[in-house]
């Protein structure tokens, strides 16, 4: 049974449901967002979360850059989620899982409802980012920094309605290789090329298509949070 990290929609977005990218520092405070999901977040069975729009599954969604170019991924038909087959993506990431909790917080996390799971003490998202980006999907050598950008929300479709993305930029000075070559193909391209592909109807994931127009701003992150 698979469990994923969720936050009640009403706690994350108490006033309105934004569409697209909302940048931290522009009516959205990163510290408050993290405090909200540490206070109100819990782990729930993924099958339940996928059909419950009142819960938002938190996804660290990381754009990988090097020398001003962006890593563009193509998800092949061998990937597990058929909804993503042949899709183009500039975001690396996945669900936050119970083992992403800091060690002292992970004991006893189970159950399929808020009543069955304990409140979190610390943020599991940084560990999920490291696992997804640096251990499972990519092999990164050399130095790197990670900057948080904002939240990405799209309630226009059934998949987006049950997810929210924490948008991050990983800037690498070194080599980046895709680990799962049977399910992913990757290459670095310019932001101009991404905009050209989007304008000509390339098959981008919805979240990635929403990010492309903000790339010039995102490639100049103002604060590195991990190194």
CA 218 centroid distance within chain: 15
Gap between the Cα atoms of 71 and 91, Å rounded: 8
CATH code of 110's domain: 3.90.79.10
pLDDT at 78 (0 to 100): 57
pLDDT at 182 (0 to 100): 80
Domain that holds residue 103: 3-218
Say if 227 falls within a structural domain.
no
Say if 28 falls within a structural domain.
yes
Q: Look at residue 35 and tell me whether its pLDDT is greater than 60.
A: yes
Q: Sorting pLDDT into bands at 50, 70 and 90, what band is 107?
A: very low
Say if 226 falls within a structural domain.
no
Average pLDDT, the chain: 87
Rg (the chain; Cα; Å): 17
Q: 144-158 burial string, b = 16+ CB within 10 Å, else e?
A: bebbbbbbbbbbeee
Say if 225 falls within a structural domain.
no
Domain count, the chain: 1
Say if 131 falls within a structural domain.
yes
Q: Look at residue 113 and tell me whether its pLDDT is greater than 50.
A: no
Closest by CA position to 21, among listed 195, 194, 213:
213
């Amino acid at each position: 049974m698979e469990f994923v990290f969720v936050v009640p929609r009403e706690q994350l977005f108490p006033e309105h449901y934004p569409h697209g990218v909302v940048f931290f520092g522009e009516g959205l405070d990163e510290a408050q967002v993290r405090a909200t999901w540490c206070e109100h977040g819990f782990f729930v069975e993924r099958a339940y979360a996928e059909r419950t729009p009142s819960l938002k599954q938190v996804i660290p969604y990381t754009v990988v850059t090097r020398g001003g170019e962006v890593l563009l991924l193509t998800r092949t038909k061998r990937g597990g989620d058929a909804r993503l087959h042949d899709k183009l993506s500039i975001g690396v990431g996945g669900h936050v899982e119970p083992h992403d909790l800091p060690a002292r917080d992970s004991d006893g996390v189970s159950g399929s409802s808020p009543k069955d799971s304990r409140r979190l003490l610390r943020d599991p998202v940084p560990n999920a980012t490291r696992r997804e980006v640096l251990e499972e999907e990519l092999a990164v050598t050399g130095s790197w920094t990670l900057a948080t950008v904002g939240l990405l929300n799209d309630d226009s479709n059934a998949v987006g309605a049950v997810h929210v993305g924490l948008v991050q930029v990983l800037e690498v000075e070194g080599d980046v290789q895709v680990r799962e070559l049977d399910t992913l193909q990757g290459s670095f391209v310019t932001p101009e090329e991404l905009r050209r592909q989007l304008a000509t109807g390339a098959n981008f994931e919805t979240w990635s298509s929403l990010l492309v127009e903000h790339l010039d701003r995102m490639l100049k992150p103002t604060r590195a949070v991990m190194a």
